[in-house]
Structure 1
Amino acid sequence: MIKILSGGFQGRQRNSKLNETPKTNGNKLKLIALAVFLGFATHATASQLETVLESPYQANGIAVAQDGRIFLGLPRWVQQDSFSVGVVKEGKILPYPGNSWNKWSSNDNTEDHFVNINAIRIEPDKPNSLWVVDCALGQGGAKLVEVNINSGNIAHVYHFDSHIVPVHDGCLNDVRVLGRNAFLTESGTGAIIVLNIDSGKARRLLSASQKTKAVAGRNAVIDQVAEKTPQGKIPVVNADGIDISPDKQWLYFCVALGGDLWRVRIDDLLNTHLTESELDKRVENQGPIVPVGGVLMLSDGNMLLSDAEKHTIVLRHPDGTLSNVVSSPLLDWPDAMAIGPDGKVYTNAAQANRIPQNNGGKDATRAPFRVLRFNL
């Protein structure tokens, strides 16, 4: 059970007590709920932000099963010795599945181990499958893994060769599964990957298009600190966010650090007769969006955007207008989002801007790492 503590944030004012760093003890999680109330320019009422759990483990991926289980993806950005996929059980994050898949070191092969998880996903129409996206740290072994969450067994492993995901620079980022096809963003070099989950055959699309590429010179500035690589340059994150329209006709995608939202018909992506140039011409610009950690399409056609710069979850309407849903300093780089059986939206405060790769080579992440949720 989650208790709601009194106090919170009104507008952008900080309540210092809510931002004190709680102590963590090993893998124990504190099931604490914090109420965060915001004022909005466009909403008559405010959403409530709750801290579902606090953990010593950094997480960027999240999925919530119909039975309420929360699954987390733990990247090896900073915590190199951590396991990669976890499930919350009795106040702890446990490796999931609890076998050799979650025990990888640099001496192990990348074929049958989780190496560097970028995203996890449960599709509403495939509620028994957890899809795990493994970027694999540029060492080969990029793959999509389907886990049966009823049995805890690995159902399928889809490996991608270097023609689909370049070994050194390529990085699988996120996934959506529709029917017999999986659609993935490749953020390292910029492309959309289409995988037939029956045959295992994959196609790399839009790799020559500027629409899957980061906008030159565009950067995210968070708490007055601009992101920069250890070499002092702007990080380059190509095709990143991805989702599918409620009518299952369109695939939406975007880059991470600000640019435009794009969409392309699913049928065009599946049409093997279209050339790359012809396909590129069929991709439609939906207008500019803010730097985002994650996107989530809703059943009404609105899209949630995690605004990394403003510590805010934003609702993007089909006409491109935006309205705030919830805002709080606790949304410290909100990343992926998922809707639980309670109808609430779950997200991680991933602190991606604080990792050495995005913070000039310095690790400024700080525990506890939070899983948050809010009402729509």
Structure 2
Amino acid sequence: MTEAELRSVFGAAAVNALLARIASGETTEIDPRLSAASFGFEEEKTRTFLDSAAYVGLVERRETLHCPACPEAIEATAAESELCPLCKEAFADRGGVERRVVYRLRVHGTRDIPWVIVIHGFNTHGEWQQDFSWRMGNKLKYSAPVLIYKYGLIRFSVLVRWRHRQMARQLGTAIRAAVEHAKANRIPESPDVVLHSFGSQLFVQLLAMPEFDDLRFGRVIAAGTVIRPNYDWTERISQGRLEAVFCHCGRKDWAVPFAQYFIPGTGPSARWGFSDEAAINVMNEDYGHGSCFDLKELEANLAAGGLWDRFLRRHRSTFDNEPRLFKPATWRPMWKPIRGFVRIGVVALMAVLAAFALTFFSSIWLTGIDCLGIASTG
């Protein structure tokens, strides 16, 4: 039986309830009698459902042996004797050793979020960063500082590589200072990172700079990202630079497909996803370029069991049965001469517009001076 067949036989609601239990990580054992109502079945059908789920691999089915008198669990070797090694009662006097079936979830313990760095995109002040910081502070029962990194409102400088490197170097310097400050305040763990748009490009530029090889990161959330879909995350993880990456894609993100034509070294990963096996790609059909930072969506993603909450705090296996998880096709950038031609055209157009604007405002300024001169002599 497959998971699809499990849904067909027992219904999507029951399977989704089980997956939610797994994702929560709050319990490792299911009692069929106590949990029957949560799956919408009677106890007997719940056992059949859990047996089938064990066959699929969602739960683990174990048989345990118990003394009918204690009734404590005993080892198989102890069950072969006449007396219980714990209470010394004879098994035969109570009807023999009891056999019980135990269902255990394949869950992993939760992970603490040490601290977080958030980096915004270009042509924006990153207002979402404050909302994220406030909700992260209210979400956790312990202190997890949030470093809001702002590199200023930029527009035209995203078109040139040397400016990328310069800004990535500034980012690395700021992060290194923050890491040292965190360690001085007894937070030795590497920070998690939330990236948006051009901020994601600065982050991978930083990872490529040997001068910042000492910087280590935890889990990385990339939303509205313009990193190339074929980026080698596995290499970075094997180098110990980061722990895991989550790409939150939006089907209605119309901005990123054009990034490769205007911003050198970028690609449409927010629409395409990452082809690297190490990346977790989740697609939201209704998301635009910054929809995940809308207040309602931000709250849902950070809520207990939300996508970002699960990525930051749970084991990646909690995404194994996520319906929005996808594996992208192979991506290749547009032919380099075409990209270069478009970029040169855009730069030339901006230069013409800048020259026109300069001439226009200069003429207005000179006209104003002339008018003042006439007025003063009149």
TM-score by length of 2: 0.27
Higher strand share: 1
Bigger CA radius of gyration: 2
Q: Which has the higher contact order (CA 8 A, sep 6+)?
A: 1
Greater fraction of residues in helix: 2
